[in-house]
Chains A and B, each alone.
Chain A
Amino acid sequence: MPILTVNNLTKIYESGMIIRRYIEAVKNVSFSIEEGEIVSLVGESGSGKTTTANIILRFLKPTSGEVLVDGKDIWKDINTFEDLKEYRRKVHAVFQDPFSSYNSFYPVDRVLYQALELLDKNPRTQESKSLMEDALIRVGLEPKHILGKYPHQLSGGEKQRLMIARCWLIKPKLIIADEPVSMIDASTRGGIIKLFEKLKEEENTSILFITHDMGLAYYISDKILIMYLGEIVEQGTPDEIISSPRHEYTKNLIGSIPTLYRKWE
Protein backbone atom coordinates (compact mmCIF):
# COMPACT_ATOMS: atom_id res chain seq x y z
CA MET A 1 0.00 0.00 0.00
CA PRO A 2 1.40 3.45 -0.88
CA ILE A 3 2.17 5.72 2.06
CA LEU A 4 0.58 8.68 0.29
CA THR A 5 -2.21 8.61 -2.25
CA VAL A 6 -3.58 11.78 -3.77
CA ASN A 7 -6.78 11.39 -5.76
CA ASN A 8 -8.26 14.04 -8.07
CA LEU A 9 -7.11 16.89 -5.87
CA THR A 10 -8.48 20.29 -6.88
CA LYS A 11 -8.10 23.61 -5.16
CA ILE A 12 -9.97 26.67 -6.36
CA TYR A 13 -9.25 30.01 -4.79
CA GLU A 14 -12.09 32.51 -4.79
CA SER A 15 -11.61 36.22 -4.58
CA GLY A 16 -13.56 39.42 -5.05
CA MET A 17 -16.54 40.51 -2.95
CA ILE A 18 -19.06 41.30 -5.63
CA ILE A 19 -17.51 40.04 -8.83
CA ARG A 20 -16.27 36.56 -7.91
CA ARG A 21 -13.07 35.41 -9.49
CA TYR A 22 -11.93 31.82 -9.42
CA ILE A 23 -8.35 30.67 -9.71
CA GLU A 24 -7.74 27.00 -10.14
CA ALA A 25 -4.44 26.56 -8.33
CA VAL A 26 -4.49 22.79 -8.43
CA LYS A 27 -6.43 20.88 -11.08
CA ASN A 28 -7.36 17.25 -10.69
CA VAL A 29 -4.00 16.09 -9.38
CA SER A 30 -3.46 12.41 -8.66
CA PHE A 31 -0.30 10.53 -7.69
CA SER A 32 1.02 8.20 -5.05
CA ILE A 33 4.23 7.61 -3.13
CA GLU A 34 5.37 4.17 -2.05
CA GLU A 35 7.27 3.46 1.12
CA GLY A 36 10.93 4.43 0.85
CA GLU A 37 10.36 6.32 -2.37
CA ILE A 38 11.53 9.83 -3.17
CA VAL A 39 9.14 11.61 -5.52
CA SER A 40 9.88 15.11 -6.84
CA LEU A 41 7.20 17.59 -7.74
CA VAL A 42 8.85 19.96 -10.22
CA GLY A 43 7.36 23.24 -11.38
CA GLU A 44 7.99 26.95 -11.52
CA SER A 45 6.50 29.45 -9.11
CA GLY A 46 2.74 29.60 -9.50
CA SER A 47 2.50 26.06 -10.83
CA GLY A 48 0.55 24.91 -7.78
CA LYS A 49 3.23 22.74 -6.23
CA THR A 50 3.27 24.54 -2.89
CA THR A 51 -0.53 24.56 -2.75
CA THR A 52 -0.45 20.80 -3.25
CA ALA A 53 2.06 20.47 -0.42
CA ASN A 54 -0.03 22.63 1.88
CA ILE A 55 -3.10 20.46 1.25
CA ILE A 56 -1.16 17.28 2.02
CA LEU A 57 0.11 18.94 5.21
CA ARG A 58 -3.49 19.79 6.19
CA PHE A 59 -2.76 23.53 6.13
CA LEU A 60 -5.30 24.02 3.35
CA LYS A 61 -8.58 22.29 2.68
CA PRO A 62 -8.98 21.07 -0.89
CA THR A 63 -12.01 22.07 -2.95
CA SER A 64 -12.42 18.44 -3.98
CA GLY A 65 -10.46 15.22 -4.07
CA GLU A 66 -8.86 13.20 -1.31
CA VAL A 67 -5.51 12.71 0.34
CA LEU A 68 -4.82 9.33 1.94
CA VAL A 69 -1.91 8.84 4.30
CA ASP A 70 -1.42 5.19 5.19
CA GLY A 71 -4.90 4.57 3.82
CA LYS A 72 -6.58 7.18 6.01
CA ASP A 73 -8.27 10.23 4.53
CA ILE A 74 -6.58 13.18 6.23
CA TRP A 75 -9.71 15.30 6.12
CA LYS A 76 -12.38 12.72 6.93
CA ASP A 77 -10.62 10.26 9.22
CA ILE A 78 -8.89 12.70 11.53
CA ASN A 79 -11.38 13.74 14.16
CA THR A 80 -9.70 13.83 17.54
CA PHE A 81 -6.59 15.55 18.82
CA GLU A 82 -4.98 12.11 19.15
CA ASP A 83 -5.70 11.39 15.45
CA LEU A 84 -4.09 14.69 14.53
CA LYS A 85 -1.04 13.93 16.67
CA GLU A 86 -0.67 10.58 15.04
CA TYR A 87 -0.91 12.22 11.63
CA ARG A 88 1.75 14.78 12.60
CA ARG A 89 4.03 11.93 13.65
CA LYS A 90 3.57 10.29 10.28
CA VAL A 91 3.92 13.33 8.06
CA HIS A 92 6.58 15.94 8.70
CA ALA A 93 7.49 19.08 6.79
CA VAL A 94 10.83 20.71 5.99
CA PHE A 95 10.47 24.17 4.50
CA GLN A 96 12.43 26.44 2.21
CA ASP A 97 13.29 29.08 4.73
CA PRO A 98 14.95 27.50 7.74
CA PHE A 99 14.88 30.94 9.38
CA SER A 100 11.12 31.27 9.48
CA SER A 101 10.66 28.17 11.64
CA TYR A 102 12.67 29.72 14.43
CA ASN A 103 11.61 32.13 17.10
CA SER A 104 14.66 34.30 17.58
CA PHE A 105 13.99 34.77 21.31
CA TYR A 106 14.41 31.11 22.21
CA PRO A 107 17.46 28.88 21.96
CA VAL A 108 17.28 26.56 18.98
CA ASP A 109 16.75 23.60 21.35
CA ARG A 110 13.08 24.47 21.26
CA VAL A 111 12.87 23.11 17.74
CA LEU A 112 13.77 19.69 19.11
CA TYR A 113 11.63 20.08 22.24
CA GLN A 114 8.58 20.51 20.02
CA ALA A 115 9.39 17.25 18.29
CA LEU A 116 9.81 15.46 21.63
CA GLU A 117 6.50 16.80 22.87
CA LEU A 118 4.83 15.43 19.77
CA LEU A 119 6.19 12.06 20.87
CA ASP A 120 4.75 12.62 24.40
CA LYS A 121 8.24 12.74 25.86
CA ASN A 122 9.38 15.19 28.49
CA PRO A 123 12.26 17.14 26.94
CA ARG A 124 13.97 17.60 30.31
CA THR A 125 14.77 13.92 30.97
CA GLN A 126 18.12 12.28 30.43
CA GLU A 127 16.56 9.97 27.83
CA SER A 128 15.33 12.93 25.81
CA LYS A 129 18.70 14.56 26.01
CA SER A 130 20.47 11.57 24.58
CA LEU A 131 17.80 11.23 21.87
CA MET A 132 18.40 14.85 20.90
CA GLU A 133 22.16 14.42 20.83
CA ASP A 134 21.83 11.30 18.74
CA ALA A 135 19.59 13.11 16.22
CA LEU A 136 22.02 16.01 15.96
CA ILE A 137 24.96 13.73 15.34
CA ARG A 138 23.02 11.98 12.61
CA VAL A 139 22.59 15.26 10.72
CA GLY A 140 26.26 16.12 11.11
CA LEU A 141 25.94 18.65 13.91
CA GLU A 142 28.01 18.67 17.06
CA PRO A 143 25.48 18.77 19.96
CA LYS A 144 27.64 20.90 22.23
CA HIS A 145 28.07 23.48 19.47
CA ILE A 146 24.37 23.70 18.75
CA LEU A 147 22.35 23.26 21.95
CA GLY A 148 21.78 26.47 23.85
CA LYS A 149 22.57 28.66 20.81
CA TYR A 150 20.22 31.28 19.41
CA PRO A 151 19.03 31.19 15.79
CA HIS A 152 21.24 34.07 14.62
CA GLN A 153 24.31 32.20 15.82
CA LEU A 154 23.76 29.37 13.33
CA SER A 155 24.33 29.40 9.58
CA GLY A 156 21.55 28.68 7.11
CA GLY A 157 22.90 25.21 6.47
CA GLU A 158 23.08 24.43 10.19
CA LYS A 159 19.50 25.55 10.70
CA GLN A 160 18.27 23.38 7.90
CA ARG A 161 20.22 20.44 9.32
CA LEU A 162 18.54 21.08 12.65
CA MET A 163 15.13 20.93 10.96
CA ILE A 164 16.09 17.57 9.54
CA ALA A 165 17.28 16.42 12.99
CA ARG A 166 13.62 16.65 13.97
CA CYS A 167 12.93 13.98 11.38
CA TRP A 168 15.37 11.69 13.19
CA LEU A 169 13.46 12.17 16.43
CA ILE A 170 9.98 11.80 15.02
CA LYS A 171 10.89 9.25 12.34
CA PRO A 172 7.94 10.19 10.14
CA LYS A 173 6.88 7.86 7.36
CA LEU A 174 6.58 10.76 4.93
CA ILE A 175 8.54 14.01 4.68
CA ILE A 176 7.18 16.90 2.65
CA ALA A 177 10.25 18.94 1.72
CA ASP A 178 9.28 22.23 0.07
CA GLU A 179 12.33 23.75 -1.69
CA PRO A 180 14.52 22.73 1.28
CA VAL A 181 17.83 23.81 -0.25
CA SER A 182 16.96 26.78 -2.45
CA MET A 183 18.19 29.30 0.11
CA ILE A 184 21.40 27.48 0.89
CA ASP A 185 24.73 28.16 -0.80
CA ALA A 186 25.64 25.82 -3.61
CA SER A 187 28.69 24.36 -1.94
CA THR A 188 26.81 23.29 1.21
CA ARG A 189 23.63 22.18 -0.56
CA GLY A 190 24.93 18.68 -1.24
CA GLY A 191 25.24 17.99 2.48
CA ILE A 192 21.53 18.60 3.02
CA ILE A 193 20.60 16.46 0.01
CA LYS A 194 22.65 13.62 1.44
CA LEU A 195 20.69 13.82 4.70
CA PHE A 196 17.47 13.13 2.83
CA GLU A 197 19.09 10.20 1.05
CA LYS A 198 20.24 8.84 4.41
CA LEU A 199 16.74 9.03 5.87
CA LYS A 200 15.45 7.09 2.93
CA GLU A 201 18.14 4.43 3.15
CA GLU A 202 18.22 3.92 6.91
CA GLU A 203 14.63 4.57 7.91
CA ASN A 204 12.84 3.76 4.65
CA THR A 205 11.28 7.22 4.81
CA SER A 206 9.26 8.41 1.84
CA ILE A 207 9.89 11.94 0.66
CA LEU A 208 7.88 14.32 -1.46
CA PHE A 209 10.53 16.69 -2.72
CA ILE A 210 9.12 19.95 -4.05
CA THR A 211 11.50 21.98 -6.18
CA HIS A 212 11.91 24.17 -9.22
CA ASP A 213 15.36 22.71 -9.83
CA MET A 214 15.25 19.95 -12.41
CA GLY A 215 18.85 18.99 -11.76
CA LEU A 216 18.15 18.35 -8.12
CA ALA A 217 14.99 16.40 -8.91
CA TYR A 218 16.88 14.34 -11.45
CA TYR A 219 19.58 13.53 -8.94
CA ILE A 220 17.50 12.66 -5.89
CA SER A 221 14.24 11.13 -7.11
CA ASP A 222 12.87 7.73 -7.93
CA LYS A 223 10.01 9.41 -9.75
CA ILE A 224 9.44 12.93 -11.10
CA LEU A 225 6.11 14.70 -11.51
CA ILE A 226 6.11 17.78 -13.70
CA MET A 227 3.56 20.37 -12.66
CA TYR A 228 2.45 23.19 -14.92
CA LEU A 229 -0.44 25.61 -14.38
CA GLY A 230 -1.93 23.47 -11.63
CA GLU A 231 -1.79 20.18 -13.48
CA ILE A 232 0.61 17.29 -13.50
CA VAL A 233 1.49 17.24 -17.16
CA GLU A 234 4.00 14.43 -17.12
CA GLN A 235 5.49 11.83 -14.83
CA GLY A 236 8.15 9.17 -15.03
CA THR A 237 11.54 8.08 -13.80
CA PRO A 238 14.21 10.78 -13.92
CA ASP A 239 15.92 9.18 -16.91
CA GLU A 240 12.65 8.88 -18.85
CA ILE A 241 11.82 12.50 -18.22
CA ILE A 242 15.26 13.77 -19.20
CA SER A 243 15.91 11.61 -22.21
CA SER A 244 12.44 11.55 -23.72
CA PRO A 245 10.15 14.28 -22.41
CA ARG A 246 6.71 14.14 -24.01
CA HIS A 247 4.86 17.28 -22.96
CA GLU A 248 5.79 20.55 -24.72
CA TYR A 249 6.36 22.28 -21.39
CA THR A 250 8.76 19.60 -20.20
CA LYS A 251 10.64 19.63 -23.50
CA ASN A 252 11.07 23.38 -23.32
CA LEU A 253 12.08 23.23 -19.66
CA ILE A 254 14.71 20.57 -20.18
CA GLY A 255 16.07 22.33 -23.25
CA SER A 256 16.52 25.51 -21.24
CA ILE A 257 18.42 24.14 -18.25
CA PRO A 258 22.13 24.93 -18.47
CA THR A 259 24.12 21.72 -18.52
CA LEU A 260 27.52 21.32 -16.94
CA TYR A 261 29.10 18.59 -19.01
CA ARG A 262 28.00 19.72 -22.44
CA LYS A 263 27.86 23.14 -24.01
CA TRP A 264 24.79 24.34 -25.85
CA GLU A 265 24.89 24.42 -29.60
Chain B
Amino acid sequence: MNRPVLQIENARAYYIVENNYVRAIDDISIVIREGEVVGIVGESGSGKTTLSNVMLMNIKRPLSLIDGKVKLYSNGNVIELNKLSREELQKNIWGKETSIIPQSAMNALMPTKKIKDSILDVMKTHFEEIHEKEIIEKVQARFEEVGISKDVIFRYPFELSGGMKQRAVIAIATLLNPRFLIADEPTSALDVSTQKMVLKTIQDLREKEIVKSIAFITHDIATVRQIAETLVVMYAGKIVEISSIEDIIKEPLHPYTRGLLFSVVTPEPEVKKRGIYYIPGTPPNLMYPPPGCRFHPRCEYKLDICDKEEPKLKDVNGRKVACFLY
Protein backbone atom coordinates (compact mmCIF):
# COMPACT_ATOMS: atom_id res chain seq x y z
CA MET B 1 0.00 0.00 0.00
CA ASN B 2 1.26 3.48 -0.83
CA ARG B 3 2.31 5.96 1.79
CA PRO B 4 -0.39 8.23 3.16
CA VAL B 5 -0.53 11.88 2.10
CA LEU B 6 -3.38 13.14 4.22
CA GLN B 7 -5.02 11.50 7.16
CA ILE B 8 -8.03 12.54 9.18
CA GLU B 9 -8.55 10.90 12.54
CA ASN B 10 -11.88 10.96 14.35
CA ALA B 11 -12.73 14.46 13.21
CA ARG B 12 -15.79 16.21 14.53
CA ALA B 13 -16.55 19.60 13.04
CA TYR B 14 -19.69 21.38 14.18
CA TYR B 15 -21.30 24.65 13.23
CA ILE B 16 -22.15 26.56 16.36
CA VAL B 17 -25.54 28.19 15.91
CA GLU B 18 -27.16 29.93 18.86
CA ASN B 19 -25.72 27.61 21.53
CA ASN B 20 -26.56 24.60 19.47
CA TYR B 21 -24.44 22.32 17.35
CA VAL B 22 -25.01 21.38 13.74
CA ARG B 23 -23.04 18.15 13.58
CA ALA B 24 -21.83 18.54 10.02
CA ILE B 25 -18.89 16.15 10.41
CA ASP B 26 -19.19 13.59 13.16
CA ASP B 27 -16.34 11.21 13.91
CA ILE B 28 -14.85 10.79 10.49
CA SER B 29 -11.54 9.08 9.68
CA ILE B 30 -10.04 8.90 6.20
CA VAL B 31 -6.60 8.13 4.79
CA ILE B 32 -5.70 9.43 1.37
CA ARG B 33 -2.61 7.80 -0.09
CA GLU B 34 -0.04 8.77 -2.68
CA GLY B 35 -1.14 8.37 -6.26
CA GLU B 36 -4.79 7.98 -5.29
CA VAL B 37 -7.90 9.80 -6.44
CA VAL B 38 -10.54 9.44 -3.76
CA GLY B 39 -14.10 10.31 -4.61
CA ILE B 40 -16.19 11.73 -1.80
CA VAL B 41 -19.83 11.53 -2.71
CA GLY B 42 -22.88 12.78 -0.89
CA GLU B 43 -25.95 14.91 -1.34
CA SER B 44 -26.42 18.46 -0.17
CA GLY B 45 -26.21 18.47 3.62
CA SER B 46 -24.13 15.33 3.82
CA GLY B 47 -21.15 17.28 5.14
CA LYS B 48 -18.91 16.79 2.14
CA THR B 49 -18.05 20.48 1.74
CA THR B 50 -17.39 20.77 5.47
CA LEU B 51 -15.11 17.78 5.13
CA SER B 52 -13.11 19.56 2.45
CA ASN B 53 -12.66 22.50 4.82
CA VAL B 54 -11.54 20.15 7.59
CA MET B 55 -9.02 18.48 5.28
CA LEU B 56 -7.35 21.85 4.75
CA MET B 57 -8.08 23.05 8.28
CA ASN B 58 -9.89 26.03 6.79
CA ILE B 59 -11.98 26.45 9.91
CA LYS B 60 -13.84 29.73 10.15
CA ARG B 61 -16.65 30.73 12.47
CA PRO B 62 -19.27 29.40 12.95
CA LEU B 63 -17.52 26.14 12.00
CA SER B 64 -15.35 24.68 14.73
CA LEU B 65 -13.19 21.55 14.91
CA ILE B 66 -14.42 19.97 18.12
CA ASP B 67 -12.22 16.93 18.11
CA GLY B 68 -9.81 14.95 15.96
CA LYS B 69 -6.57 15.31 14.02
CA VAL B 70 -5.67 16.30 10.49
CA LYS B 71 -2.24 15.01 9.52
CA LEU B 72 -0.29 15.91 6.41
CA TYR B 73 2.65 13.70 5.43
CA SER B 74 5.37 15.75 3.81
CA ASN B 75 8.80 14.35 2.92
CA GLY B 76 8.85 11.92 5.81
CA ASN B 77 7.50 14.45 8.31
CA VAL B 78 4.06 14.43 9.81
CA ILE B 79 2.53 17.86 10.16
CA GLU B 80 -0.53 18.12 12.38
CA LEU B 81 -2.50 20.78 10.57
CA ASN B 82 -4.96 21.12 13.44
CA LYS B 83 -2.15 22.48 15.62
CA LEU B 84 -1.15 25.24 13.20
CA SER B 85 -2.46 28.78 13.31
CA ARG B 86 -4.21 30.26 10.33
CA GLU B 87 -1.14 32.39 9.57
CA GLU B 88 1.12 29.34 9.60
CA LEU B 89 -1.25 27.44 7.35
CA GLN B 90 -1.41 30.36 4.96
CA LYS B 91 2.34 30.78 4.87
CA ASN B 92 3.55 27.17 4.76
CA ILE B 93 0.72 24.85 3.80
CA TRP B 94 -1.99 26.36 1.63
CA GLY B 95 -1.10 26.72 -2.01
CA LYS B 96 2.20 24.94 -1.40
CA GLU B 97 1.43 21.58 0.16
CA THR B 98 -2.32 21.57 -0.34
CA SER B 99 -4.62 23.24 -2.80
CA ILE B 100 -8.21 23.33 -3.95
CA ILE B 101 -10.19 23.64 -7.14
CA PRO B 102 -13.22 25.40 -5.70
CA GLN B 103 -16.86 24.66 -6.30
CA SER B 104 -17.58 27.77 -8.32
CA ALA B 105 -14.49 28.45 -10.36
CA MET B 106 -16.63 30.94 -12.25
CA ASN B 107 -16.02 33.55 -9.57
CA ALA B 108 -12.86 32.18 -8.03
CA LEU B 109 -10.53 34.72 -9.58
CA MET B 110 -10.15 38.29 -8.41
CA PRO B 111 -12.49 40.02 -10.87
CA THR B 112 -10.78 43.39 -11.21
CA LYS B 113 -7.20 42.22 -11.65
CA LYS B 114 -5.42 40.65 -14.55
CA ILE B 115 -4.84 36.95 -13.92
CA LYS B 116 -1.10 37.53 -13.99
CA ASP B 117 -1.32 40.06 -11.16
CA SER B 118 -3.40 37.76 -8.95
CA ILE B 119 -0.82 35.03 -9.49
CA LEU B 120 2.06 37.33 -8.55
CA ASP B 121 0.22 38.25 -5.36
CA VAL B 122 0.00 34.57 -4.42
CA MET B 123 3.70 34.06 -5.15
CA LYS B 124 4.59 36.98 -2.92
CA THR B 125 3.26 35.12 0.13
CA HIS B 126 5.32 32.04 -0.54
CA PHE B 127 8.64 33.55 -1.54
CA GLU B 128 10.63 36.36 0.00
CA GLU B 129 11.86 37.46 -3.36
CA ILE B 130 10.23 36.87 -6.69
CA HIS B 131 11.55 37.14 -10.22
CA GLU B 132 8.56 38.22 -12.19
CA LYS B 133 9.84 37.08 -15.55
CA GLU B 134 10.76 33.65 -14.31
CA ILE B 135 7.43 33.15 -12.61
CA ILE B 136 5.50 34.26 -15.65
CA GLU B 137 7.37 31.78 -17.79
CA LYS B 138 6.58 28.96 -15.38
CA VAL B 139 2.96 30.00 -15.14
CA GLN B 140 2.63 30.15 -18.88
CA ALA B 141 4.08 26.68 -19.19
CA ARG B 142 1.50 25.41 -16.69
CA PHE B 143 -1.31 27.15 -18.54
CA GLU B 144 -0.31 25.38 -21.73
CA GLU B 145 -0.10 22.10 -19.84
CA VAL B 146 -3.75 22.37 -18.82
CA GLY B 147 -4.68 23.24 -22.38
CA ILE B 148 -5.19 26.98 -22.49
CA SER B 149 -3.24 29.64 -24.28
CA LYS B 150 -0.39 31.22 -22.35
CA ASP B 151 -1.69 34.68 -23.25
CA VAL B 152 -4.69 34.09 -21.02
CA ILE B 153 -2.68 35.30 -18.04
CA PHE B 154 -2.70 38.82 -19.45
CA ARG B 155 -6.48 38.85 -19.50
CA TYR B 156 -9.10 39.67 -16.91
CA PRO B 157 -11.21 36.76 -15.63
CA PHE B 158 -14.40 38.12 -17.19
CA GLU B 159 -12.82 37.85 -20.60
CA LEU B 160 -12.70 34.06 -20.39
CA SER B 161 -15.34 31.45 -21.11
CA GLY B 162 -16.49 29.06 -18.38
CA GLY B 163 -14.27 26.20 -19.48
CA MET B 164 -11.22 28.45 -19.87
CA LYS B 165 -11.79 29.99 -16.47
CA GLN B 166 -12.07 26.58 -14.85
CA ARG B 167 -8.80 25.45 -16.42
CA ALA B 168 -7.09 28.71 -15.46
CA VAL B 169 -8.18 28.02 -11.88
CA ILE B 170 -6.75 24.51 -12.12
CA ALA B 171 -3.45 25.86 -13.42
CA ILE B 172 -3.24 28.47 -10.66
CA ALA B 173 -4.22 26.02 -7.93
CA THR B 174 -1.42 23.65 -8.92
CA LEU B 175 1.36 26.14 -9.69
CA LEU B 176 3.52 25.02 -6.77
CA ASN B 177 2.87 21.32 -7.35
CA PRO B 178 0.91 20.73 -4.14
CA ARG B 179 1.01 17.26 -2.70
CA PHE B 180 -2.68 17.09 -2.00
CA LEU B 181 -5.47 18.61 -4.09
CA ILE B 182 -9.17 18.90 -3.36
CA ALA B 183 -11.50 19.20 -6.31
CA ASP B 184 -14.83 20.44 -4.93
CA GLU B 185 -17.58 19.85 -7.50
CA PRO B 186 -15.26 21.22 -10.18
CA THR B 187 -17.57 20.42 -13.06
CA SER B 188 -21.06 21.02 -11.74
CA ALA B 189 -21.41 24.54 -13.16
CA LEU B 190 -20.18 23.66 -16.63
CA ASP B 191 -22.04 22.37 -19.66
CA VAL B 192 -21.63 18.73 -20.51
CA SER B 193 -18.92 18.92 -23.17
CA THR B 194 -16.76 21.27 -21.09
CA GLN B 195 -17.21 18.95 -18.11
CA LYS B 196 -15.46 16.16 -19.92
CA MET B 197 -12.54 18.38 -20.89
CA VAL B 198 -12.08 19.64 -17.33
CA LEU B 199 -12.28 16.12 -15.96
CA LYS B 200 -9.51 15.06 -18.32
CA THR B 201 -7.42 18.01 -17.21
CA ILE B 202 -7.76 16.96 -13.58
CA GLN B 203 -6.86 13.40 -14.50
CA ASP B 204 -3.72 14.69 -16.22
CA LEU B 205 -2.61 16.45 -13.05
CA ARG B 206 -2.05 13.14 -11.39
CA GLU B 207 -0.68 11.34 -14.43
CA LYS B 208 1.92 14.06 -14.93
CA GLU B 209 2.58 13.87 -11.17
CA ILE B 210 1.85 17.54 -10.72
CA VAL B 211 -0.11 16.53 -7.64
CA LYS B 212 0.28 13.34 -5.61
CA SER B 213 -3.30 12.70 -4.64
CA ILE B 214 -6.73 14.17 -5.21
CA ALA B 215 -9.92 14.22 -3.16
CA PHE B 216 -12.73 14.63 -5.66
CA ILE B 217 -15.89 15.86 -3.97
CA THR B 218 -19.16 15.54 -5.85
CA HIS B 219 -22.80 14.57 -5.71
CA ASP B 220 -22.57 12.75 -9.03
CA ILE B 221 -21.36 9.15 -8.95
CA ALA B 222 -21.20 8.89 -12.74
CA THR B 223 -18.70 11.77 -12.89
CA VAL B 224 -16.50 10.60 -10.04
CA ARG B 225 -16.52 7.09 -11.44
CA GLN B 226 -14.52 8.29 -14.43
CA ILE B 227 -11.66 9.54 -12.31
CA ALA B 228 -11.53 7.97 -8.84
CA GLU B 229 -10.44 4.51 -7.68
CA THR B 230 -11.86 4.71 -4.19
CA LEU B 231 -15.24 6.06 -3.22
CA VAL B 232 -16.21 7.44 0.17
CA VAL B 233 -19.98 7.71 0.60
CA MET B 234 -21.21 10.27 3.11
CA TYR B 235 -24.61 10.62 4.67
CA ALA B 236 -25.65 13.16 7.32
CA GLY B 237 -22.12 13.89 8.52
CA LYS B 238 -20.97 10.26 8.64
CA ILE B 239 -19.12 7.95 6.33
CA VAL B 240 -21.41 5.03 5.49
CA GLU B 241 -19.19 3.17 3.05
CA ILE B 242 -15.63 3.19 1.71
CA SER B 243 -14.79 0.91 -1.13
CA SER B 244 -13.26 0.63 -4.58
CA ILE B 245 -15.51 2.29 -7.10
CA GLU B 246 -15.83 -0.84 -9.23
CA ASP B 247 -17.07 -2.85 -6.24
CA ILE B 248 -19.59 -0.19 -5.33
CA ILE B 249 -21.03 -0.06 -8.82
CA LYS B 250 -21.16 -3.85 -9.02
CA GLU B 251 -22.60 -4.28 -5.56
CA PRO B 252 -23.34 -1.39 -3.25
CA LEU B 253 -23.39 -2.60 0.35
CA HIS B 254 -24.93 0.16 2.44
CA PRO B 255 -28.65 0.73 1.80
CA TYR B 256 -27.98 4.44 1.31
CA THR B 257 -25.26 3.80 -1.25
CA ARG B 258 -27.61 1.45 -3.01
CA GLY B 259 -30.43 3.99 -3.07
CA LEU B 260 -28.13 6.76 -4.28
CA LEU B 261 -26.53 4.63 -6.97
CA PHE B 262 -29.83 3.32 -8.28
CA SER B 263 -31.26 6.81 -8.49
CA VAL B 264 -28.58 7.77 -11.02
CA VAL B 265 -29.89 7.76 -14.56
CA THR B 266 -27.40 7.77 -17.39
CA PRO B 267 -28.09 6.98 -21.04
CA GLU B 268 -27.15 3.32 -20.74
CA PRO B 269 -29.22 0.18 -21.33
CA GLU B 270 -28.32 -1.10 -17.84
CA VAL B 271 -30.26 1.81 -16.37
CA LYS B 272 -33.44 0.86 -18.20
CA LYS B 273 -33.07 -2.74 -17.09
CA ARG B 274 -32.39 -1.70 -13.50
CA GLY B 275 -35.14 0.90 -13.24
CA ILE B 276 -35.11 4.10 -11.26
CA TYR B 277 -35.07 4.13 -7.47
CA TYR B 278 -35.42 6.77 -4.86
CA ILE B 279 -34.97 7.10 -1.13
CA PRO B 280 -38.17 8.17 0.62
CA GLY B 281 -38.09 10.97 3.16
CA THR B 282 -35.49 13.69 3.59
CA PRO B 283 -32.06 13.89 5.23
CA PRO B 284 -32.18 14.65 8.97
CA ASN B 285 -31.66 18.02 10.58
CA LEU B 286 -28.09 17.75 11.83
CA MET B 287 -28.92 19.81 14.88
CA TYR B 288 -31.01 16.89 16.11
CA PRO B 289 -29.71 13.81 14.30
CA PRO B 290 -31.73 10.61 14.84
CA PRO B 291 -30.33 8.16 17.40
CA GLY B 292 -28.44 5.09 16.23
CA CYS B 293 -27.80 4.91 12.52
CA ARG B 294 -28.58 8.30 11.00
CA PHE B 295 -30.09 6.63 7.96
CA HIS B 296 -32.54 4.40 9.79
CA PRO B 297 -35.65 6.60 9.36
CA ARG B 298 -35.33 6.26 5.57
CA CYS B 299 -34.00 2.72 5.40
CA GLU B 300 -36.05 -0.12 3.96
CA TYR B 301 -33.85 -2.76 5.64
CA LYS B 302 -34.11 -1.28 9.14
CA LEU B 303 -33.43 -3.72 12.01
CA ASP B 304 -34.41 -3.34 15.65
CA ILE B 305 -30.90 -2.36 16.62
CA CYS B 306 -30.63 0.43 14.05
CA ASP B 307 -32.30 3.14 16.11
CA LYS B 308 -30.50 2.14 19.29
CA GLU B 309 -26.85 1.71 18.45
CA GLU B 310 -24.59 3.52 16.09
CA PRO B 311 -23.01 1.24 13.47
CA LYS B 312 -19.21 1.49 13.18
CA LEU B 313 -17.33 1.20 9.90
CA LYS B 314 -16.30 -2.46 9.65
CA ASP B 315 -14.43 -4.59 7.17
CA VAL B 316 -16.55 -6.69 4.84
CA ASN B 317 -14.51 -8.61 2.23
CA GLY B 318 -11.86 -5.89 2.12
CA ARG B 319 -14.49 -3.15 1.95
CA LYS B 320 -15.70 -0.90 4.70
CA VAL B 321 -19.34 -0.31 5.56
CA ALA B 322 -21.19 1.09 8.55
CA CYS B 323 -24.33 -1.03 8.66
CA PHE B 324 -25.77 -3.73 10.92
CA LEU B 325 -26.75 -5.84 7.93
CA TYR B 326 -23.13 -6.97 7.64
Contacts and interface: CB of A to CB of B under 8 A. Distances in A.
So, do A and B actually touch in the complex, CB under 8 Å?
yes
A80 B223 CA distance: 51
16 contacts: A140-B280, A157-B282, A186-B264, A187-B43, A187-B256, A187-B278, A191-B278, A193-B278, A215-B266, A218-B272, A239-B269, A255-B196, A257-B266, A259-B225, A260-B270, A264-B226
Nearest to A239: B269
A239 B268 CA distance: 9
Contacts of A155: 282
Contact of B193 (A212, A218, A219, A252): A252
A254 interface: yes
Nearest to B196: A256
Given A258-B222, A258-B223, A259-B266, 18 more contacts: A45-B191, A185-B219, A185-B283, A186-B220, A187-B43, A215-B267, A218-B267, A218-B268, A219-B265, A252-B193, A258-B220, A258-B225, A258-B266, A259-B225, A260-B249, A260-B270, A260-B271, A261-B270
Interface in A227-258: 238-239, 242, 252-258
Contact of B271 (A157, A186, A189, A215): A215
Q: Of residues A193, A212, A238, A264, which shows the largest number of chain B Cβ atoms within 10 Å of its Cβ?
A: A264
Nearest to B259: A187
Interface in A176-234: 185-194, 212-219
Contacts of B266: 215, 218, 257-261
A157 B280 CA distance: 10
A256 B195 CA distance: 8
Interface of A: 44-45, 140, 155, 157, 185-194, 212-219, 238-239, 242, 252-264
B192 A259 contact: no
Q: Which of A194, A215, A217 has the most CB of B within 10 A?
A: A215
Given A216-B265, A261-B249, A185 B276 contact: no
Contact of A238 (B192, B220, B267, B282): B267
Interface of B: 43-44, 191-193, 195-196, 199, 219-223, 225-226, 249, 256, 259-272, 276-280, 282-283
A191 B280 contact: yes
Contacts of B267: 214-215, 217-218, 238, 242, 254, 257, 259
A188 B278 contact: yes
B265 A44 contact: no
Nearest to B44: A185
Contacts of A189: 263, 278
A253 B225 contact: no
